[in-house]
Amino acid sequence: MSAIPFADDVLGPEVEVLPLPLVADRLGLPVNKVRQALRDGQLLAVRRDGQLAVPTPFLTDDGQIVKGLPGTITVLDDAGFAPEDMLRWLFEPDETLPGGTPIEALRATGGREVKRRAQALAF
């Protein structure tokens, strides 16, 4: 079994994160499925207070991974972004996007514009 990938915690303290067991509860999945989602690049995790945690904005209120997030992570990975850089980009203020950040735009619209901008970063 491969190691669970995680990023250094480059997020501000205002960004709420959930430890993996709580993410599993919220998604209605076993913890090992959440770990697999991290290995598959569907989610990103940080180490905060000594434990792996997922930013709460990556999850919907009805217990799903935000639509468009896995595809955006893939596009950023293909563009050569390290996980820390992906997190910075997803939470970077951008007043031209709905919600003011790429992750909030994904939450609001599913992310066609966010993925387009992520693809443009590769060039």
pTM of the model: 0.93
DSSP 76-104: HHHTT--HHHHHHHHHS--TTSTTSSHHH
**CA dist., res. 36 & res. 56, Å (int):** 18
More confident residue, 2 or 9: 9
Q: Is 59 contained in some domain?
A: yes
pLDDT in tens, 26-78: 999 999 999 999 999 999 999 999 999 999 999 999 999 999 999 999 999 99
CB under 8 Å to 82, separation ≥6 — which residues? 7
pLDDT in tens, 88-108: 999 999 999 988 999 999 999
Residue 12 three-state SS: coil
Q: Is 102 contained in some domain?
A: yes
Q: Is 64 contained in some domain?
A: yes
More confident residue, 109 or 82: 82
Contact (CB, 8 A) for 5 and 40: no
- Count of domains for the chain: 1
Q: Is 10 contained in some domain?
A: no
